[in-house]
A and B are shown apart, each in its own frame.
Chain A
Amino acid sequence: MQILKVENISKTYGTKKNSKKYTALKNISFEVNQGEFIGVMGASGSGKTTLLNILGSIDKPTTGRFIMNGKDIGTLDKNQLAKHRMENIGFIFQDYNLLETMTLRENIILPLALMGKEIAVIEEKLNKLAGDLCIMDVLEKYPYEVSGGEQQRAASCRALINNPKMILADEPTGNLDSKSGKDLLALLTFINKEYNATILMVTHDVFAASYCQKILFIRDGEIYNELYAGSDKKQFFDSIIDVMSMLGGERK
């Protein structure tokens, strides 16, 4: 089932009068199907975070449109966009973005609380997810009291709790050590398989990307290449490195 269709999206920064225009994205088009785990790779400044922001409807494309769940997101107004984000999208960020003023439990249930769900529903969902993601023991702690890995798991939990159509992850392993990073990637794969969640992950880490089923490479705001994972993981890993070196990005 097709969940997202991106048509010719471009993004230009800088005012029209100003001659100093900077093009972050140029005519990007692709499609995402239900249950896919897609990676977006590119060097710094290639426009991958801009793309993610647009897909997350935090930012607006200059031209082009994208359709999510049968709706043209470009036509929604501010409040509709907020509702759209609340219902359809879950975010996972590099720096977790948990609220320091709340315990992990409160952080996780926040999206549901904002939607005004009943306590019983909230608690049931929370318990199931927190159990699956192994953070039951630290639910009552504040973000600064737990490790980065636990924070990122709580953030994933928050992203999942409203059953979003799509999860957008922006360098989720960027701040984690290799062990925690590996755990998180395993977790994302688990979420992808178990909950049939659609995940779009921006990364420049080749190892992280190798967990994806499909990778879009972006260079200078354009899609440069696409790669599909075969059955051989090692081969997939090598071909990602090849593309990355062609892109001029860093090697890992």
Chain B
Amino acid sequence: MNLFTLAFRNIRQNNKKYAMYFFSMGFSVFTVYTFSSLMNNEYVMKAFRYDQRYQSLLTAFGVIILVFVLFFLISSNSSFIRARKKEVSTYSLFGMTNGRIGRLLFLETMIVGTATLVIGILAGIFFSKLMAMFLLNLSLTNFVGDVSFVIDPKSVIITAVLFLGIFIFMGLTGLRVICKFELVDLFKADKISEGRYKGSRVVLVLSLLLIFSGYFIACSKNATVVVLGAIPILTLVITGTYFFFWGGLPKVLNLIKKNKRTYYQGVNLISTSAFSHRMKSLASVMATIAVLSAVAVTAIATGFTLYSNAEKNSYSSVGFDLYYYVGQKDMTDKVHQAFQNHHGVIENEYTLQLYEATPDFHGETLLGQENLTPEERYFRIYSETDYNKMISYSKTNLESVRIAPGEGLYIYPYSMEDIKSTILGKSLDFRSKEIRVTDVIRSAVPNFGSFNTIVIDDSDFQSMKDNGMIKTAAESGKEYHAVTVMNYKNALKSKELYQVVNEVFKNEKQQYRTVYYIYNESMETFGLICFIGFFMSVVFILMTASLLYFKQVMAAEEERHQFRMLRKIGMDVNMERKVIRKRLLPVFFIPLVIGIVHSIFAMKTADTIVFSNLIPVENSYLTVLGFSGIMYGAYAFVYVIFYLVTKNQYTRIVIK
């Protein structure tokens, strides 16, 4: 029997151990191929690669995936070798030299590697069209083309070369294991205990302190603090997480053990001691999984929140499908003509006079407007009736208002810190009249170019207009005096109408804004982020969960005799199931729960930096959490499935 047939026989006979190994390697190959072919797909290139931002985003993501795949492969390889130590030592005992055993293992790795490479790439080719379609449909709202089915030779070569390198490296690692260990150690591999691991109170407190101080910075309301604190937050939370699993969780288990009332109940006794026994070998894996879950879950939650709110956000910044300023030239006829020529259906339109005024705020400038010239500090001013009329056309969640004489509603366009407290209840001096600000809201719709907007009572408006305090925009020196807002059918999707509108205004050099432009740009960005988040989540979850599966199934082989013994002293089937459940649940769900909690705080920072500006509601964090919750649920769901599969396999092994 030569080495080659021996290697084949080994693979066949170890097929159960190999199955999971095979799956994880195949999946890694699949991931790398898919990503590489996606990067080289002509449609994707056309859609994204022209833009530097997207390109760097995709490249950065590619590097993360690659690093993770490496970590995953090395980690599953080492636990695979450990599981086979006994076999290796048997060869050694029968007089096979280290060199030959090394060659044998190397051969096995290469055989399995080549097979997974072929299968992974085939699966990648099979799904590449689906993935490209998925990305493009998610990101490009008007994408209707058909991605052709292509085999990308460049990606095949890249993937093959990369993985052959990795497999050779893995084969060499195996060789090192054999050379480094003594024969006796190899035989004792199963019996060498992982030892007591009591953890430490100091580390527990320290880890919690690190994590919570990270959370504390993350919760800051000041966006600048959060942006500057990103690296410290990550460092604090990540080191805290690792410390928690290394020293904190063992301590917690130790404390649980001290509570004899619960610990001395048969099931708890067995499962807790078994779990804490495995703690040492699981700690790093669990910590890594917690961190990765946090990253993946945050990525997908961010993407999903942005993506689901793209339409709302676009309208909350533009307000209408289209608006254009009305100056000397009257564009109305031209616009109507253009729509008619291209079968566009105008739903409604409204032309509104724009007025301005420059009140005095007790001789001070408003907060955040210190850098504006005095001319730029003017207020857009509306009468209650005009405002309500205009709002009725807008596609936002703004509501019509009622204003009492002498009072005013102040509207600001961007998230400005403390502006509400600065201005609410204060008076604005319009020379002839004092207007007290009784309400403040945030909206970018009614300002039409100004930083400040105020809505006042009809009669106040009339009297101020009469005594010249309120002027039209044209009177104040602007090129326009009114704005026309309009809505038309299929405004978000129709590229044709958008181009038509573009044409009309470009030719006449008139200012205008469309919701189409904003919406499609954000869909492109957010679709890509959402896709990356999704891809990353799928990769992370499959790899981390299968890593846990791997470890637990290996452990099951070792724990088999314990269950056999327990049955002899009278443990029944129900109790056995309970023990298995309690033994496996923490392994899967502690990292998941910690990952999600991290993510909840990560979403808080994302809310402070991004969402609070994007989502025009009072408490945007709750909205964000709502959308994130859906993704957390989906992530947890996949974990539950993996947990159940692992539990079944574990049960099958120990109760045989």
Contacts and interface: CB of A to CB of B under 8 A. Distances in A.
Interface of A: 56, 58, 78-79, 82-87, 89-91, 93, 97, 99-102, 106, 109-111, 113-116, 119, 122, 142, 144, 158
B160 to A, nearest CB: 44
A154 B611 CA distance: 63
A142 B193 contact: yes
Contacts of B566: 99, 110
Contacts of A115: 266
A201 B563 CA distance: 23
Given A85-B569, A113-B269, A114-B575, 18 more contacts: A78-B572, A79-B572, A79-B573, A79-B574, A82-B573, A82-B575, A85-B570, A89-B570, A97-B561, A102-B270, A106-B269, A110-B266, A110-B270, A111-B570, A113-B266, A116-B266, A122-B264, A144-B191
B12 interface: no
Contact of A82 (B196, B267, B572): B572
* A contacts with B: majority SS: helix
Nearest to A82: B572
25 contacts: A56-B568, A58-B568, A78-B573, A82-B572, A82-B575, A84-B570, A86-B570, A87-B570, A97-B561, A97-B568, A99-B274, A99-B565, A100-B277, A101-B273, A101-B277, A110-B270, A111-B570, A113-B264, A114-B266, A116-B265, A116-B266, A122-B264, A142-B196, A144-B191, A144-B193
Given A110-B270, A113-B266, A142-B196, A101 B562 contact: yes
A90 B193 CA distance: 27
Nearest to A88: B570
B193 A82 contact: no
Given A99-B565, A119-B261, A142-B196, A83 B269 contact: no
Given A100-B277, A101-B274, A101-B562, A119 B570 contact: no
B272 to A, nearest CB: 9
A89 B571 CA distance: 12
Interface of B: 191, 193, 196, 260-261, 264-267, 269-270, 273-274, 276-277, 561-562, 565-575
A219 B370 CA distance: 106
A102 B269 contact: yes
A106 B260 CA distance: 11
Nearest to A97: B565
B573 to A, nearest CB: 6
A167 to B, nearest CB: 12
Contacts of B572: 78-79, 82-83
A100 B565 CA distance: 12
A79 B260 CA distance: 27
Contacts of A93: 565
B269 A82 contact: no
A86 B569 contact: yes
Nearest to B192: A144
Contact of B269 (A86, A110, A158): A110
B277 A82 contact: no
Counting from the closest, the 8 A-B pairs by CB-CB distance are A86-B570, A114-B266, A82-B572, A101-B277, A85-B570, A113-B266, A97-B565, A79-B572
Given A99-B273, A102-B269, A119-B261, A111 B193 contact: no
A83 B570 contact: yes
Nearest to B572: A82
Given A110-B266, A119-B264, A85 B568 contact: yes
A158 B266 CA distance: 14
A84 B567 CA distance: 11
Contacts of A158: 569
A87 to B, nearest CB: 7
A111 B264 CA distance: 10
A91 B264 contact: no
